[in-house]
């Protein structure tokens, strides 16, 4: 399975296709029907397993379905699944390569516990552990983190089928995001300008509630693509600890970036504004990122796309290759040979 028109050796080529990849590859009908037939009242929840670039789709889907899911959605980024998992839990494991040891270990545990287990992967050992008809296959050749629009489309469709939610029209959302991105320059700082203003600084992405997964994704993308330190924090929790550390932000060159959402409650809005004013007493100005969107899904995906591009612009300024993940590969090699 290949996708024409994408240069898989170029992170920019992969990331720029983000909007067009949304909704382009979906689970086949047999898999959708199978998920749809699972008796909802007999399941306790859905456990999503994955690491790194393959974990993000699950976290973002959980954010999106936070207010409407009628079952708990949990993310496991570890070797083990929680002890409370039993055969009433559905598992969706994502590993782009299909060979990530933590994911394989957690999946083996889930299968031993009798969980009905589905996989999203290009193949690898994951596809040997899970029944073929429970596998949603994705095209090979991407960097896992750049395959997010594909992994996300698969995962959201599977969750929507399982939870009997009407399906989100990701293709239309992709088109809207493409148009919206052409107008970023007119009402907000562009990814390239933001990257310039982050020169020699360490971004701290601050999310809240719905935007937590976006802040986490941004931190990971800046780490992996720009090979730069980056952190993420979540409100309201960070107001109960991190706020006391801001005297160090200026000398440590930490730049807070608040990820704003149209879904923010008035309380959270007030909290972000108050937090900003306290931070700005001790450092230069905080940055707030907000996009224009018609739905929560569009907002979430547009912000992710924007921040993915930011990580590429930072890579350009830092003169690093966003594709290579030398240290991740080195560590995986050490672990697999022992």
Using CB under 6 A, list all residues that contact ligand PA5: 51-54, 95-97, 100, 103, 143-145, 224, 325, 328
- At closest approach, how far in Å is the CB of 255 from ligand PA5? 24
Which residues have C-beta within 8 Å of that of residue 258, sequence separation ≥ 6? Answer: 206, 272, 275, 276, 286, 287, 288, 289
81 upstream amide cis, omega within 30 of 0: no
C-beta closer to ligand PA5: residue 126 or 300: 126
Which residues have C-beta within 8 Å of that of residue 155, sequence separation ≥ 6? Answer: 48, 57, 58, 61, 92, 94, 120
- At closest approach, how far in Å is the CB of 328 from ligand PA5? 5
- At closest approach, how far in Å is the CB of 103 from ligand PA5? 6
C-beta closer to ligand PA5: residue 95 or 261: 95
C-beta closer to ligand PA5: residue 95 or 181: 95
Q: Are 143 and 308 in contact (CB under 8 A)?
A: no
Compute how many other C-beta atoms are within 10 angstroms of the C-beta atom of residue 329: 10
- At closest approach, how far in Å is the CB of 224 from ligand PA5? 6
C-beta closer to ligand PA5: residue 224 or 242: 224
Nearest 5°: phi and psi at 89?
Answer: -95, 145
Strand partners, 89: 45
Q: Are 91 and 110 in contact (CB under 8 A)?
A: yes
- At closest approach, how far in Å is the CB of 167 from ligand PA5? 25
Helices (H), the chain: 11-16, 18-21, 29-37, 56-64, 101-112, 126-129, 148-162, 170-182, 184-187, 191-197, 212-226, 266-280, 296-317, 326-336
- At closest approach, how far in Å is the CB of 310 from ligand PA5? 16
C-beta closer to ligand PA5: residue 100 or 211: 100
Helices (H), 65-121: 101-112
User: What tokens does 26 get?
Assistant: 């979906």
Rounded Cα–Cα distance for residues 20 and 324 (Å): 24
Nearest residue to the partner ligand PA5, using Cβ: 52
Picking from 138, 134, 166, the residue whose alpha carbon sits closest to that of residue 151 is: 138
Sheet with strand 202-208: strands edge to edge: 231-235, 202-208, 254-259, 287-289
| Furthest CA-CA distance within the chain | 58
C-beta closer to ligand PA5: residue 96 or 152: 96
C-beta closer to ligand PA5: residue 150 or 170: 150
Q: At what angle do helices 56-64 and 212-226 cross, to 10 degrees?
A: 160
């Amino acid at each position: 399975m290949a996708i024409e028109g994408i240069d898989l050796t170029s992170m920019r080529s992969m990331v720029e296709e983000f909007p067009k990849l949304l909704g382009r590859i979906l689970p086949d009908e047999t898999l959708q029907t199978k998920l749809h037939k699972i008796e909802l009242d007999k399941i306790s929840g859905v456990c999503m397993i994955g690491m790194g670039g393959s974990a993000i789709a699950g976290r973002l889907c959980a954010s999106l379905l936070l207010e409407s899911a009628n079952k708990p959605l949990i993310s496991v980024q570890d070797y083990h699944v929680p002890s409370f998992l039993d055969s009433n839990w559905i598992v969706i494991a994502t590993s782009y390569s299909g060979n990530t040891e933590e994911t394989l270990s957690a999946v083996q545990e889930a299968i031993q516990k009798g969980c009905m287990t589905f996989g999203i992967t290009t193949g690898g050992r994951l596809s040997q552990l899970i029944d073929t008809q429970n596998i949603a296959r994705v095209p090979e050749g991407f960097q896992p983190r750049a395959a997010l629009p594909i992994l996300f489309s698969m995962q959201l469709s599977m969750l929507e089928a399982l939870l009997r939610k009407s399906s989100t029209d990701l293709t239309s959302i992709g088109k809207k995001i493409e148009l919206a991105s052409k107008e970023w320059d007119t009402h907000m700082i562009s990814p390239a300008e933001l990257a310039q203003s982050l020169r020699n600084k360490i971004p701290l992405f601050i999310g809240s509630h719905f935007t937590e997964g976006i802040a986490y994704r941004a931190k990971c993308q800046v780490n992996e693509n720009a090979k730069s330190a980056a952190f993420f924090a979540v409100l309201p929790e960070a107001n109960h600890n991190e706020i006391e550390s801001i005297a160090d932000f200026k000398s440590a060159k930490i730049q807070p970036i608040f990820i704003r959402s149209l879904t923010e409650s008035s309380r959270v809005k007030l909290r972000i504004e108050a937090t900003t004013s306290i931070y700005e007493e001790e450092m230069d100005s905080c940055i707030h990122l907000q996009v224009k969107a018609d739905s929560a899904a569009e907002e979430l995906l547009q912000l992710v796309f924007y921040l993915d591009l930011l990580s590429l612009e930072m890579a350009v300024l830092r003169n690093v290759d966003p594709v290579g993940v030398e240290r991740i590969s080195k560590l995986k090699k050490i672990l697999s040979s022992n």
